[in-house]
Each structure stands twice: as C-alpha cells, then as structure tokens.
C-alpha cells in the first residue's frame, strides 16, 4: 500500500506558509501530511502553530554549532528521523551547505518572495518597487546549491500599485504565497511534478524556467 507522502517543514519565524500547508493537508487539498516541523529559533511562532495542530516539533539552534557543516549534519539527522518524502523550507533563514542540498535534491522546495529569476536574496519587495516594476510575486522552486536559483514549479503574481510600500506589498505577496505553496505541494505529493536534469516537469511536460504562472482567477 502506498503511504501518504510525509512532509517536514523547516522554519525560522511566523510560519504562515507552514499554516497554509498544514491547513491544505487537513482539508486534503494536499494528499500528504506534515509529520514534523523544525525551527532553528526557539521563539518561532510557527512552532506554536505546529503544536496547535498536534504536529511534532524540534528546535535546533545553529548557535550551538561551531560550523555550518556541523549544524547541517545534525539538521539532516533530525530531518531524516521523520522519514520524510519532501522537505519544505518556509521562511527558514539559513544558507544550507551543498552537502545538505544534495542529500535532498529533487525533494526539497523553498518559497521565495519574488518572481524568480528576479530579486534573489533579501529585500525583494523594496527592490521591486525601486525598479519601478508593475508586478511582483512569489516563486516555489526546487532547492539547488546556488541561493534562490533552483528551477521553479509555480509562481504567483500581484500588482504593484502607486500607493504600495514594502509592507503593503509584502502583505499581498504573502497572500499569494499561501495559495501557491499548497498547489506546489499537491503537485509533488501526487507525483505530478518532478525535477530532472535541473528542470521541472509538470504532467511530464517541461516547464519554462520561471515555472507555471498560477492563474488567480
């Protein structure tokens, strides 16, 4: 009998994307279950969200380790203890070693608050405003060794209006994130989407490098 895909979520903060994914598992929009949540910060609100949903949590502070390699090696042990099929980065504010990334290649995804390949890294909302862009958004991508560089599964776009500032834009982007992350996780859990040779295939069709644009309508 096929088991339900098991998802481990790594967080550092609020965990609103974690919440969206847990809710989508509960409503069976995602045919999978969140079996564990790991935070590198003890005060991450996402841990409370997971606890409220009855999901096992772990805190692993990077400060207790003298190198990135040692932290990542312990993190991999904690992740593997949950026997996951997929690893979800949801606001996990750590740069991962190549070794960690390679271990979960094709099984680990991240959400980034920009329409990749635009605005890798931080302060994406302000950068989109400063550039005079009319649209912005978020991307769910497979994690590969280079930062925010892996092939994209799905993007969601929002408009940048004249009265938007970085805060209002972040709010809009969060809303679309909570839609597209569950969509991407359902594709993964149902086997609809795969990474092969550094590219993404949805229903066996090669997606463009910026993934599938999610149609909000």
> By the criterion CB under 6 A, which residues form the site for ligand GRF?
13-17, 90-91, 111-113, 138, 174, 177
Smallest gap from Cβ 43 to ligand GRF, in A, equals 13
Residue nearest to ligand GRF (CB): 91
**3-class DSSP state of 169:** helix
Smallest gap from Cβ 114 to ligand GRF, in A, equals 8
Q: In what helix (H) or strand (E) does residue 50 lie, and over which residues does it extend?
A: helix 45-52
Smallest gap from Cβ 193 to ligand GRF, in A, equals 19
User: What angle, 0 to 180 degrees and rounded to 10, lies between the N-to-C axes of helices 16-26 and 166-189?
Assistant: 40
Cα 139 to Cα 151: distance, rounded to the nearest angstrom? 10
Smallest gap from Cβ 120 to ligand GRF, in A, equals 12
Smaller CB separation from ligand GRF, 176 or 189? 176
Smallest gap from Cβ 205 to ligand GRF, in A, equals 26
The pairing of beta strand 193-196 with beta strand 152-159? unpaired
Q: In what helix (H) or strand (E) does residue 191 lie, and over which residues does it extend?
A: none
Is 171 an active-site residue?
no
Angle at 141 between CA 136 and CA 142, to 5 degrees: 170
CA dihedral 41, 16, 147, 4 (to 10 degrees): 100
Sequence-separated (6 or more) residues with CB below 8 Å from residue 99: 69, 72, 73
Cα 66 to Cα 78: distance, rounded to the nearest angstrom? 18
Tokens 């400060």 belong to 63
Active site residues: 112
């Amino acid at each position: 009998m096929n088991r339900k895909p098991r998802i481990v979520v790594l967080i550092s903060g609020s965990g609103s994307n974690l919440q969206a994914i847990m809710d989508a598992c509960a409503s069976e929009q995602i045919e999978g279950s969140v079996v564990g949540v790991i935070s590198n910060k003890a005060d991450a609100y996402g841990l409370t969200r997971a606890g409220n949903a009855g999901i096992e949590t772990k805190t692993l502070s990077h400060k207790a380790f003298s190198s990135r390699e040692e932290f990542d090696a312990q993190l991999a042990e904690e992740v593997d203890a949950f026997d996951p099929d997929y690893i979800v980065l949801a606001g996990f504010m750590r740069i991962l070693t190549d070794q960690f990334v390679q271990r979960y290649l094709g099984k680990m995804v991240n959400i980034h608050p920009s329409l990749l390949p635009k605005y890798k890294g931080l302060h994406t909302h302000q950068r989109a405003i400063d550039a005079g862009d009319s649209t912005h958004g978020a991307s769910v991508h497979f994690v590969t060794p280079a930062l925010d560089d892996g092939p994209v599964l799905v993007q969601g776009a929002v408009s940048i209006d004249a009265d938007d500032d970085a805060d209002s834009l972040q709010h809009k982007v969060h809303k679309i994130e909570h839609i597209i992350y569950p969509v991407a996780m359902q594709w993964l859990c149902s086997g609809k989407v795969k990474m092969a040779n550094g590219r993404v295939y949805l229903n066996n069709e090669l997606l463009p490098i910026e993934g599938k644009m999610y149609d909000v309508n």
